[in-house]
């Protein structure tokens, strides 16, 4: 079974997907947009959600999540 056999949000994440998500997470946390542990957990959940629903460009993913974080302040 190939990745194309799955719906986009049901596809198992590959190593390169995880690397992109981790880099986005680390960058958002490092720039101070997210610092609290519970907020970091929520950020990780949001990153996976949006990535699996089509926001796979790292810069776009970061911009979207930073925007969400700023609105929640």
The whole-number pLDDT of residue 14 equals 94
The whole-number pLDDT of residue 1 equals 37
Determine the Cα–Cα distance for residues 32 and 56; give it in Å rounded to an integer.
Answer: 22
CA-CA distances (angstroms) from residue 6 to 13, 61, 70?
11, 22, 33
The whole-number pLDDT of residue 63 equals 94
The whole-number pLDDT of residue 48 equals 94
The whole-number pLDDT of residue 57 equals 95
Rounded mean pLDDT for each run of 10 residues along the chain, 73 residues in total: 51 92 93 79 92 93 88 72
The whole-number pLDDT of residue 32 equals 79
Q: What is the pTM of this model?
A: 0.78
Determine the Cα–Cα distance for residues 28 and 6; give it in Å rounded to an integer.
Answer: 29
């Amino acid at each position: 079974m190939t990745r194309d056999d799955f719906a986009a949000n049901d596809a198992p994440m590959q190593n390169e997907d995880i690397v992109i998500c981790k880099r986005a997470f680390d960058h958002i946390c490092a720039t101070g947009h997210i610092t609290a542990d519970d907020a970091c957990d929520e950020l990780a959940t949001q990153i996976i959600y949006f990535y699996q629903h089509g926001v796979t460009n790292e810069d776009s993913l970061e911009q979207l999540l930073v925007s969400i974080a700023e609105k929640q302040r």
